Structure 1
């Protein structure tokens, strides 16, 4: 039995918004407000295995989908099929499939961008929002890819992802190695990200190519858990996941007509002390844009917080749900 089968509830499928989403569900369907867990890059619904288990034990209805392009869900072959309108419409469609009007959306990494956009694009489908590591980000004053290119250089991973084909080839050359490179705990000594030869920071392609398999933090996953991620990206490729990033400019253009604040919704922001990409300071501005916001920090955690510090994350989420959505 694989770790996916052993650690997750049975997979289900939903036809929504022109794609088929695989999802995993626990708790009493139809009772209370459900929580939808949205994963990031390069992850899966499997990333929420610890939270699903905790929700089930607490009697909380919870669902974690493989989002489009990932895992067992559909993988459209057009880049613009992965823009924010499609990603949020998938979540609204999942609610339709479940027969529910509103849900609490909890997102990590890229999933955090999706859940913070849900109340702006589909306000009638959102009961609350939980951001894990990823803060609410107001619309940038200019194209975010141009800003990142100027600030971090051409090989910064989000800028590099705009190139066709090469990112998929590099990441997909050895998915076990790629996932082992990403899925690590923070290094024992804080690492300052320095520019590479091109002048770029966060140049993951060069860091991955030159990685000795040992340097950096300790492995985050067991071999069986790592195999779930490696096999999923081996079978499904990185085109869909990387294409989420290829829509940054499109999403920025779309946001010109959207609200700029989130009011009337309870929101929770969970930061991670040692996240090098999304540090706690990245959330400092949020109180100016969200009317009902609580912010907490998980000490000692790197980027993969729900997998690295599951007990702490579970306690924060379930405690907040008990207070803000009592049964």
Structure 2
């Protein structure tokens, strides 16, 4: 007898439809507070069915009671481990960040819609709490209404009196769906929640990232869910924009590309890139009514690349940027940066806030300089920054990266998608041990999705002009940058601010941004889960949406004279 056809899909909420989930914020808070791994999770789940988490998710206690018990449990656990609870610790913090930072996973929501149109029932099965915290229900009422309109039923553990992984809640879900286990697919971010469902006979998917989960869901459901990817925005080519050059002082000249008219927005790229890395954003921002200036940073392409290391300190870079604005007659700009460009954006907001209308950063977080720990020791404690130590000796990294510029760029600038990854991946944590950044990769790697042949050739030409020394010199000012930043460690950038994090960035991980709202009071935070380091190239449509929505919310800039043109 043939097994029943699958006709229903159960979705977890946090970590599946809303990302990141609670587990992410528990881990990131542990990292920020330098707590042992799983410290918060163990305190939350300690006691099995009588743990604070289990009792709250069954509705036996409220969220505020859970937080009180979690706080007490953390203090007992710290005492037993012989460690101190860090200053600023709050048991409510991971839950608060979940409420503020989790975002609907649009691709998963779209897949659920496709399934419904093909006759599937879609249902949410989530562990939830009776929220009496006074901070607003989670999920918020508007999102709850949206979910109820698309998922029937919406099964919340605290209202059922059972929680995952209790087998009873899965039987309850089957009754609500009027389905046999073999007819149901269940997606969750925790393996322990999937095991009882499998034992009942459901097909299960462990959600580690949306793309892989959708691929598995497509295979199990037999419904085409991935289809054509979202169309790329219209890019610009070097010949589509005006080009300008500003002499900063003898021996230093900055090149920029420009498009559009209106309030000025300046785009600053990172390493190892080009102004052309903003090719998908420049037309979209110009069409939205902005004068877009994409700066080619010092040391790159047609901007000059002086050999002296101090030329690339953040202090000097920001002084040069102020001169750049002065010579173009621009009083204030909206400044958007990525990677090192993001560092420039935050430092301009700290030291020259009068020259900015607002500030945005892709991937690069802001943290005030810490005088208690030497900056090089701090970097050594983060394995992902090992490559920056490899970059310190002048001439070493230059020789490797300049040997075959095309190979260098095809290895470094790749998307996080499975199809675009090179075997072994780029491990930034063992560069000195391996003896180089590109060691172990093929001599002629396949092309990158992010650098089609015309763009790759343009990048190659630009790096042949400038070499890599200037670009690498940015990394040779770590101590100088830290000492400069210490002067501003008590300041808080008060401008409207935006941070966009990427879930698969191997270096600038989202966890590094946690707690930023304490230092940047007007911060808005957006997260793109299925994205690596090259955010504006890998997810250009989503980046454009995020930027344009944020820009629409900015207060109007008073008119000013002298908005010069090329």
Question: TM-score normalized by structure 1?
Answer: 0.89
Q: Could you say which residue in structure 1 is the equivalent of 2:383?
A: 152
SS of the residue 1:77 aligns to = coil
State whether residues 310 and 477 of structure 2, in contact with CA within 8 Å, keep that contact through their aligned partners in structure 1. yes
**What is the distance in 1 between the residues matched to 2:489 and 2:357?**
17
Determine whether 1:295 maps to 2:530: no
> Which deviates the most, 119-128 or 160-169?
119-128
**What is the distance in 1 between the residues matched to 2:546 and 2:459?**
26
Q: Which has the larger radius of gyration?
A: 2
Q: Could you say which residue in structure 2 is the equivalent of 1:51?
A: 281
The root-mean-square deviation of aligned C-alpha atoms, in Å, is 2.5
**What is the distance in 2 between the residues matched to 1:260 and 1:211?**
44
Q: Could you say which residue in structure 1 is the equivalent of 2:397?
A: 167
**What is the distance in 2 between the residues matched to 1:166 and 1:210?**
17
Determine whether 1:179 maps to 2:417: no
State whether residues 390 and 436 of structure 2, in contact with CA within 8 Å, keep that contact through their aligned partners in structure 1. no
SS of the residue 2:436 aligns to = helix
**What is the distance in 2 between the residues matched to 1:109 and 1:266?**
19
Shift of 1:229: 1.2
Structure 1 residues 307 and 206: CA distance shift in structure 2, 3 A? same
Q: Could you say which residue in structure 2 is the equivalent of 1:277?
A: 507
Q: Deviations over 1:258-277 (max 9, x none)?
A: 24333431000111121111
> Which deviates the most, 213-222 or 86-95?
213-222
> Which deviates the most, 294-303 or 208-217?
208-217
**What is the distance in 2 between the residues matched to 1:158 and 1:303?**
16
Q: Deviations over 1:21-56 (max 9, x none)?
A: 10111111xx33x11111000011111111111112
Determine whether 1:110 maps to 2:343: no
Q: Could you say which residue in structure 1 is the equivalent of 2:439?
A: 209
State whether residues 75 and 240 of structure 1, in contact with CA within 8 Å, keep that contact through their aligned partners in structure 2. yes
**What is the distance in 1 between the residues matched to 2:545 and 2:243?**
25
User: Which runs of no fewer than 5 residues in structure 1 stay unpaired?
Assistant: none
Correspondence 1:1-327 to 2 at 5 A: 4-6=237-239, 8-18=240-250, 19-28=252-261, 31-32=262-263, 34-140=264-370, 141-149=372-380, 151-152=382-383, 156-188=386-418, 193=427, 196=430, 206-212=436-442, 219-326=449-556
Question: TM-score normalized by structure 2?
Answer: 0.52
SS of the residue 1:219 aligns to = coil
SS of the residue 1:179 aligns to = helix
**What is the distance in 2 between the residues matched to 1:195 and 1:134?**
18
SS of the residue 1:76 aligns to = coil
> Which deviates the most, 58-67 or 171-180?
58-67
Aligned residue pairs total 316
Shift of 1:210: 1.4
SS of the residue 1:69 aligns to = coil
Shift of 1:294: 0.5
SS of the residue 1:64 aligns to = strand
State whether residues 186 and 218 of structure 1, in contact with CA within 8 Å, keep that contact through their aligned partners in structure 2. no
**What is the distance in 1 between the residues matched to 2:429 and 2:254?**
39
State whether residues 369 and 489 of structure 2, in contact with CA within 8 Å, keep that contact through their aligned partners in structure 1. no
> Which deviates the most, 66-75 or 205-214?
205-214
**What is the distance in 2 between the residues matched to 1:197 and 1:101?**
43
State whether residues 368 and 485 of structure 2, in contact with CA within 8 Å, keep that contact through their aligned partners in structure 1. no
SS of the residue 2:300 aligns to = coil
Higher relative contact order (CA 8 A, sep 6+): 1
User: Which runs of no fewer than 5 residues in structure 2 stay unpaired?
Assistant: 1-235, 558-566
**What is the distance in 1 between the residues matched to 2:426 and 2:454?**
31
Which of structure 1's runs of 4+ aligned residues deviate more than 6 A? 189-192, 214-217
